[in-house]
Amino acid sequence: MNRPALLLLALLGGCGSLTRLSEIGRPPAMTPSGDPTQEAGYRPLSLPMPAPQRLEPQANALWRNGSRAFFKDQRAANVGDLLTVLVQVSDSANLKDETTATRATTQNFGLPNFFGLEAAIPHMLAGATAASLLTGSGGTGTTGKGGVSRNETIQLRLAGVVTQVLPNGNLVIAARQEMRVNNELRELQVSGVIRSQDIASDNTVMHDRMAEARIAYGGRGQLMDMQSPRWGQQLMDIVLPF
């Protein structure tokens, strides 16, 4: 392989390092605030929808079918409205598995009588007798133990924006938050589909009421770099078969 190809391979493998190299001597840069629908990876969400229903007005009535409250509702309902997403995850799992298997087999084969030729067997096969020509034995044993212990607790509270109103009234929301402490940048992202009925009176919604929920909590910075293996080591772990 020539030198330009090696240089290109090194650059391709270290593309993720270029950003970190540009941040040497200063904290990680925050992502500028913007419209989530204008991002490169954004796409409108499409889900199965029921047939639209036409609401007929009622004469001599102050109440209109389909209204959620008698007075004006201050909860998020339209594209661009804000609401607060509450993420409270408390998950724990403790699994243990133990397996033990043992098997032993013994088989014997002989020809005590074989057309009168059994007497010739000791002369043909040294030390063999007609009653015991073949003896086989085998044994197998398997022992396995496994265990999983996990305990996760996450509590987040961040504001999001309605990015899309589906034909059946459900809302597509996206919430992002970045917080920088010294040289560590914490990133919070939540997105999903909610029902307008699940929005509380204080304009909040729980994460367990979200369909297609995507919750990400991570960060970037010097401490994260120290805790993450180098990209070369990650590449070798993926490629090497042993």
Within a domain: 44: no
pLDDT winner (highest mean) among 133-137, 158-162, 183-187: 158-162
Q: Are 176 and 163 in contact (CB under 8 A)?
A: no
At 195, the pLDDT band (50, 70, 90 cuts) reads very high
- Domains held by the chain: number: 1
Within a domain: 233: no
pLDDT winner (highest mean) among 87-91, 181-185, 206-210: 206-210
Within a domain: 188: no
At 125, the pLDDT band (50, 70, 90 cuts) reads low
Query: Cα separation of 6 and 1, whole Å?
Result: 7
pTM greater than the 0.85 cutoff: no
Query: Cα separation of 195 and 212, whole Å?
Result: 12
At 174, the pLDDT band (50, 70, 90 cuts) reads very high
At 57, the pLDDT band (50, 70, 90 cuts) reads low
Within a domain: 129: yes
Within a domain: 213: no
Within a domain: 130: yes
* Residue 135 structural domain: 99-147
Within a domain: 121: yes
Phi/psi for 113 (5° steps) reads -135, 120
CA torsion angle for 33, 163, 192, 180 (degrees, to 10)?
10
Within a domain: 223: no
